[in-house]
């Protein structure tokens, strides 16, 4: 599963480098998947969670900005 999650991070960043806003969604969902993965490992890898949370917040901010969510027109 870690290979898939790592691939999705790279793929999301590749989309963003091509100025495709869907990269934010992929990275945002991927951050949640990293948190889930860190918790199901034996033993749980709590050290992965803080970076995944920060990455989720950054990605969510990107989604809000790129999709113009909450802006009055």
18: DSSP letter: T
Q: Which of 55, 46, 67, 2 is nearest to 28 (CA)?
A: 55
pTM more than 0.75: yes
Domain ranges of the chain: 2-66
Q: For 4-37, how does the pLDDT look when each residue is reduced to its tens digit (9 = 90+)?
A: 999 999 999 999 999 898 999 999 999 999 999 9
pLDDT on residue 72: 65
CB 34 within 8 A of CB 5: yes
């Amino acid at each position: 599963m870690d290979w898939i999650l790592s691939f999705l991070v790279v793929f999301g960043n590749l989309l963003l480098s091509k100025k495709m806003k869907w990269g934010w969604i992929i990275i945002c969902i991927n951050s949640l998947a990293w948190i889930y993965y860190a918790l199901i490992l034996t033993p749980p890898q709590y050290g992965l969670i803080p970076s995944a949370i920060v990455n989720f917040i950054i990605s969510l901010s990107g989604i809000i900005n790129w999709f113009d969510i909450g802006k009055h027109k």
